[in-house]
Amino acid sequence: MIAVRGTTFYAAWAEQLGTTEFTQDIYFSRSTNDGVSWSAPTRVDLGDNLNAHDSDLPKIAVTDTGIVGVIWEETRDAFQQQSTNDDIFFNRSVDGGVTWQPVSIALNTGTAGAHVTSDIDRMWLCATGNTFHVTWEEDSLTSLGGNEELWYTRSTDGGQTWSTPVTLNANPGGEDVDEPKVEADGNLVFVTYVDSNDDVIGVRSIDGGATFSAPVRIESDPNGNADEPTLKVKGNVIVVAWTEQDPGTASGEGVHCCVSVDGGLTWRPEVTLSERMLTVTGADADAPVIAIQSANNFIVSYPEDSVWVAGGGATGGSRNECLVAYTTNGGLTWTKDVGLYPGVVTNRPYVVATPNAVVAWLELNPNGSNIGAFCHSLDGGATWTTPAIVNNTGPDVDEGCATDEGIYVAMSPLSNTVHVTHMDRPLGQNEVYTSGYLVTAGVGTNYCTARPNSTGQTAAMSAGGSRFVVNNDVRLIATELPPNAFGFFLTSRNQGLIANPGGSQGNLCLTGSIGRYVGPGQIKNSGAQGRIELQINLNAHPTPSGLIQVVAGEVWNFTAWYRDSVSGVATSNFADGLQVFFQ
């Protein structure tokens, strides 16, 4: 499994180290240089002897403060009770993965160890701010193998202490819950699961997980049996996708989706994304993965075998094509069944996104002979590059878990670098590998919100050229300015949101030490098009204390100040912010 913060990637996996699959331990490695090199593996499931019990299925997340957390299933406590039932364990590192707490802790505190008549399953982990959120299913209120409940716990101090676990489903012990997921952004926490009626259910919290709403059915059509739900949350946008057979169609399971743009308060109608398979008897779509690129642009990937089946191939095989569906208007309408590599057998697509690009990892060839490849889209999923095969992958790349059982592809929002953790066996047995891909896509990422100017528009920042400092080629651009207005660019290491500074009508998206591009030729006029541009010199970067040189690894933020007039009264305004990670 993999996570990313800035340009540091973190990976966790289970490994047996010459013993058996029943005595695995959890290991960790990180890359602090965008995946160029990785640290030596470090054991995470500390507190008992090496290969003493079975630790498996790790999940990893990183807080905004840089604390790394890992959860996994383990038989450690149950072993002492002569049981093979799993508990959910946690460990954390407060120094980015260099060292770990000497003793791991169980999170299912009410049932761990001596409670040998229950077994945890299907756990999930996410982080936002300094808070970890964890969900799992467990049959603690019935008996081993009975109905499973949905459990939740959180830590608001980076994993140092944890809340008492609580159940979130409507009828704990009286219904069987499956495949829970939790994702969060700020105080919005959302949990999905499949209930006993095989419907997709959602539970929301708007206070960071302190309290939750009553469960609500997300899907608008209760027919069919939902499976493999996946979930993404960004801002107030929640996207849930799952597989389910469309009633009255000849095909098997298809990919369905629901969207909320108000934090789960209301939901847009359920949509079938995998449309082309619906008329093909026995065709099947599988394993959806969601990427949210912006408040309006979402992408869902899935493999689908309708072409193979329609040509006489067997159903349920691995002769898939990898497809995506995407929306540019917040899920009101979708463009469906866009091929990533049309006409070529591909499997297990996994999409990730930053505001600059969408990247898909896919496995070429039928199962048993897979090799890895990446492709990307710079237009929100409409068109895709020809997949680039990763050198030296094969003879059989495998993701190691299903797409709905863990996150194994991550993308840096600063560098647009993507890394995937996967299995491969070039030496005869499966080992853990990572493969990487860098998208050269624009310069910078927008942030902050500008205020409308006298044209009714909000001024927008962008940049062209290259973020690599050796090229010294960055061109700052501000558009949607009033015509024939004077303006100049500002820069700082620190982002901010200051309303009406100095009597301005706008928001200043910078704080701290702010430099101004006001040297000879640097103050610009927007002209008839309402646009200013400036080719900047990275060797003469302005700060309040003088000009400095930008070096690789630094992050700088930019905006533009400009003159305006409202109802004949002279004023000023600002563009939004642009963050650039220089390499």
Distance, in Å, from the CA atom of 457 to the CA atom of 376, rounded to the nearest integer, reads 31
Q: Are 153 and 134 a contacting pair, CB within 8 Å?
A: yes
Cβ-proximal residues to 110 (8 Å cutoff; 6+ apart), any chain: 140, 164, 165
Does the domain at 445-581 match CATH 2.60.40? Answer given as: yes
List 492's β-bridge partners, or say none: 557
Q: Which long-range contacts link 490-493 to residues 24+ away (Cβ below 8 Å)?
A: 490/514, 490/515, 490/516, 490/517, 490/558, 490/559, 490/560, 490/561, 491/515, 491/516, 491/517, 491/541, 491/542, 491/556, 491/557, 491/558, 492/556, 492/557, 493/554, 493/555, 493/556, 493/557
pLDDT value for 400: 63
| pTM, 2 dp | 0.79
Cβ-proximal residues to 569 (8 Å cutoff; 6+ apart), any chain: none
Q: What is the residue-level pLDDT of the chain in tens, covering all 583 positions?
A: 899 998 899 999 988 876 666 678 889 999 998 888 999 999 999 988 777 777 888 999 999 999 999 999 887 654 444 445 788 999 999 999 999 999 999 898 776 655 555 678 889 999 999 999 999 998 877 766 778 899 999 999 999 999 999 999 988 888 889 999 999 999 999 999 999 999 999 999 999 999 999 999 999 888 888 888 999 999 999 999 999 987 767 778 899 999 999 999 999 999 999 999 888 888 889 899 999 998 899 999 999 998 888 888 777 666 889 999 999 999 999 999 999 999 898 889 999 998 878 999 998 887 777 788 999 998 889 999 999 998 876 676 667 666 667 788 999 987 888 999 887 777 767 778 888 998 876 688 889 999 999 999 999 998 877 777 888 988 899 999 999 999 999 999 999 999 999 999 999 999 999 999 999 999 999 999 899 999 999 999 999 999 999 998 899 999 999 999 988 899 999 999 999 988 7
Among the residues of 448-494, which ranges form H helices?
none
Query: pLDDT tens digits, residue range 373-385?
Result: 999 998 889 999 9
Could you tell me the residue ranges of all domains in the chain? 1-126+138-171, 445-581
pLDDT value for 78: 46
What DSSP designation does 471 have? Answer: G
Does the domain at 1-126+138-171 match CATH 2.120.10.10? Answer given as: yes
pLDDT value for 581: 85
Q: Which of 279, 373, 285 is nearest to 321 (CA)?
A: 285
Query: pLDDT tens digits, residue range 228-267?
Result: 899 999 999 999 999 998 776 777 889 999 999 999 999 9
What token pair was written down for 450? 């500008």
Q: What angle is formed at CA 411 by the lines to CA 514 and CA 121, rounded to 5 degrees?
A: 125
Place of tokens 């050796």: 470
Distance, in Å, from the CA atom of 315 to the CA atom of 299, rounded to the nearest integer, reads 26
